[in-house]
């Protein structure tokens, strides 16, 4: 490992206003994507004349994980806001979030997991080894890490290929890194493995199915909730046999405390039930219940089985890690056969609402139907707990993708080959038609969304990162009507962040916007 400089938390602050931390995918465990403490970026100063690309940091591979942000870290006696980026080359970087000046060009520390004992060559996994080029040319760190600010720890999963004289092995490992210097903590890393009784999946010959480190894709963001760390899995390119998995770990020992497969008894090797969510992390409610969406595979839970293809799933937290409730669309079988994954996007747990159903979760999949589901009684199979369904509301058919974002009682979507759309919440339901639609569309795989406002909800902005091309395009819209305030193409090449990465999500804090690309971390702000 290579480490540059050392870091320590400063209990004090040198800033007039401390920026809001972004320690997890979409800012919080509800996965709203909202920073409602952003007072610097406003409707008046987010425009091509005063807002721009400030600088970029080079990185060694694609950044699929959302950048994470921690303010007020003391580095060798100097307080920095720090942005963390993880790459497919199994690197984690800590950068100064505000300036790339100084002897190390703003780099605070860097860790590579492509290291091993003598005689072992460690690399990311080539996409050709898997036979899937959804991400190319390598797979390393894909899921967004999670940060525990209290213990000053960053948790991340890395995928490696290890070659020695005895042969080739593949591994996925959970790392716990000190925020201060990137050093491994808690005796880590810990190997990710596990099994449950089952008949569909990679069998161990003893009546169990196992987590396969090569075929399983750690795509969803990590979740840290109520003292437990959760890691979810899907597949690469639907290459069978695979299962959806949820694994739970102690954040202080890295020991596994729970395991669940979403498809242990599927049929004809159509196990599946993957937890992709276009990179979104599983969500939680105030009670610690866990919510996620699955894609593909067998659904037999209504008939006494244990497989939940194309479903909203609610889990009890570890150590039980059992299904508490679920909602499965009535056309699930057709969705599976046509590869219309419900779990193409993630679950957003909404703030409490007025009306008869105060506790709601919202999500959409490749059919473009928005589902608003009652968390207290999800209804299981069929219509049941779906408080509302809005068919074909977002995205082009077969490809709506990224998950929504929330601000000021409105939910925003940026589906594939579609415009950004806002749906207002009123008395526990969404407006059946968007109250606002952007004039500009986004590309084939949609755009990752984040939102910001001040604490009163003023100057609410919807930030969209269209990673479908080269360069990626950063958009900023007024949340009230989706009038565009800014996009990174308005000044010609001046604000180009770098080549796009699909499903990337921008991070907004401290008056700046952080964007991961295929070879950079780009930083935007006022100048």
Q: What is the pLDDT along the chain (527 residues), one digit of tens a residue?
A: 444 443 333 333 333 457 999 999 999 999 999 999 999 999 999 999 999 999 999 999 999 999 999 999 988 778 899 999 999 999 999 999 999 998 899 999 999 999 999 999 999 999 999 999 999 999 999 999 999 999 999 999 999 999 999 999 999 999 999 998 999 999 989 999 999 999 999 999 899 999 999 999 999 999 999 999 999 999 999 999 999 999 999 999 999 999 999 999 998 778 999 999 999 999 999 999 999 999 999 999 999 999 999 999 999 998 999 999 999 999 999 999 999 999 999 999 999 999 999 999 999 999 999 999 999 999 998 766 799 999 999 998 677 778 999 999 999 999 999 999 999 999 999 999 999 999 999 999 999 999 999 999 999 999 999 999 999 999 999 999 999 999 999 999 999 999 999 999 999 999 999 999 999 999 999 99
Q: How far apart are CA 72 and CA 249, in angstroms?
A: 28
> What six digits make up the tokens of 282?
């599983």
Give the E-state strand segments of 285-417 in sequence order.
290-293, 312-315, 323-328, 348-349, 360-364, 370-374, 380-381, 386-390, 405-407, 410-413
Whole-angstrom CA distances from 167 to 125, 162, 214, 334, 393 are 15, 8, 15, 42, 50
Can you tell me whether residue 9 is helix, strand or coil?
strand
Q: How far apart are CA 211 and CA 46, in angstroms?
A: 46
Among all chains, which residue has been given the structure tokens 């602050």? 13
Q: What are phi and psi of 336, to 5 degrees?
A: -65, -45
DSSP strand pairing (34-35 vs 410-413): unpaired
> What six digits make up the tokens of 99?
């300036």
Q: Which helix (H) or strand (E) holds 176?
A: strand 167-178
> What six digits make up the tokens of 513?
């916007």
Q: DSSP code of 274?
A: B
Q: How far apart are CA 458 and CA 278, in angstroms?
A: 29
Boundaries of every domain in the chain: 8-526
CATH number, span 8-526: 2.140.10.10
* C-beta of residue 441 within 8 angstroms of C-beta of residue 24: no
Q: What are phi and psi of 46, to 5 degrees?
A: -95, 90
Q: How far apart are CA 81 and CA 7, in angstroms?
A: 11
Burial of 434 (0-12, 13-18, 19+ CB in 10 A): buried
Cα 250 from chain centroid (whole Å):
21
Nearest Cα to Cα of residue 340 among 363, 313, 367, 364? 367
Strand partners of residue 78: 75
Number of CB atoms found within 10 A of residue 268's CB: 8
Q: How far apart are CA 415 and CA 394, in angstroms?
A: 6
Measured between its terminal Cα atoms, the distance across the chain in Å is 36
Give the E-state strand segments of 20-120 in sequence order.
34-35, 51-58, 68-75, 78-86, 91-96, 107-112
DSSP strand pairing (448-452 vs 34-35): parallel
Helices of type H across 111-192: 127-130
Taking the model in full, what pTM does it have?
0.95
């Amino acid at each position: 490992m290579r480490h540059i400089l050392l870091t320590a938390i400063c209990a004090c602050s040198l800033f007039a206003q401390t920026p809001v931390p972004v320690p997890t995918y979409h800012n919080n465990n509800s996965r709203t994507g909202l920073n409602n403490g952003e007072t610097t970026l406003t409707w008046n100063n987010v425009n091509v004349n005063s807002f721009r690309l400030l600088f970029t940091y080079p990185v060694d591979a694609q950044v699929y994980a959302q950048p994470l942000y921690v303010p007020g870290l003391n580095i060798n006696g100097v307080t920095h806001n720090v942005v963390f980026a993880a790459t497919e080359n199994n690197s984690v970087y800590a950068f100064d979030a505000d300036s790339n000046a100084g002897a190390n060009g703003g780099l605070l520390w860097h860790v590579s997991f492509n290291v091993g004992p003598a005689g072992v060559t460690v690399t990311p996994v080539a996409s050709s080894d898997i036979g899937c080029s959804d991400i190319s040319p390598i797979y390393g760190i894909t899921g967004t890490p999670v940060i525990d600010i209290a213990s000053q720890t960053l948790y991340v999963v890395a995928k490696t290929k290890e070659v020695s004289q005895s042969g080739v092995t593949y591994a996925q490992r959970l790392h716990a890194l000190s925020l201060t210097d990137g050093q491994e903590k808690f005796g880590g890393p810990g190997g990710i493995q596990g099994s449950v009784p089952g008949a569909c999946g990679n069998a161990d010959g003893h009546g169990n199915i196992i987590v396969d480190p090569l075929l399983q894709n750690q795509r969803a963001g990590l979740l840290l909730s109520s003292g437990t760390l959760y890691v979810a899995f899907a597949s690469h390119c639907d290459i069978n046999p695979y299962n959806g998995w949820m694994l739970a770990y102690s954040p202080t020992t890295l020991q596994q405390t729970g395991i669940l497969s979403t498809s242990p008894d599927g049929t004809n090797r159509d196990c599946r039930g993957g937890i992709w969510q276009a990179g979104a992390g599983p969500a939680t409610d105030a009670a610690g219940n866990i919510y996620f969406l699955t894609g593909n595979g067998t659904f037999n839970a209504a008939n006494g089985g244990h497989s939940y293809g194309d479903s909203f799933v609610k889990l009890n937290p570890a150590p039980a890690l059992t299904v508490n409730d679920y909602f499965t669309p009535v056309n699930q079988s057709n969705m599976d056969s046509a590869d219309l994954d419900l779990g193409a996007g993630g679950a957003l747990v909404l703030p409490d609402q007025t009306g008869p159903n105060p506790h709601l979760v919202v999500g959409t999949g490749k059919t473009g139907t928005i589902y608003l589901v009652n968390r207290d009684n999800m209804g299981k199979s069929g219509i049941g707990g779906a408080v509302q369904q809005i068919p074909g509301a977002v995205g082009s058919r077969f490809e709506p993708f990224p998950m929504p974002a929330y601000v000021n009682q409105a939910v925003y979507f940026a589906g594939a080959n579609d415009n950004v759309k806002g749906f207002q919440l009123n008395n526990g339901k969404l407006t059946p038609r968007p109250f606002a639609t952007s004039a500009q569309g986004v590309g084939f795989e949609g755009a990752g969304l984040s939102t910001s406002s001040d604490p009163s909800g003023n100057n609410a902005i919807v930030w969209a990162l269209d990673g479908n091309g080269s360069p990626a395009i950063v958009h900023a819209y007024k949340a009230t009507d989706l009038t565009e305030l800014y996009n990174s193409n308005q000044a010609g090449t001046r604000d180009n962040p770098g080549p796009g990465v699909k499903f990337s999500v921008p991070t907004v804090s401290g008056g700046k916007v952080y964007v991961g690309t295929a070879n950079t971390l780009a930083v935007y702000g006022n100048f």
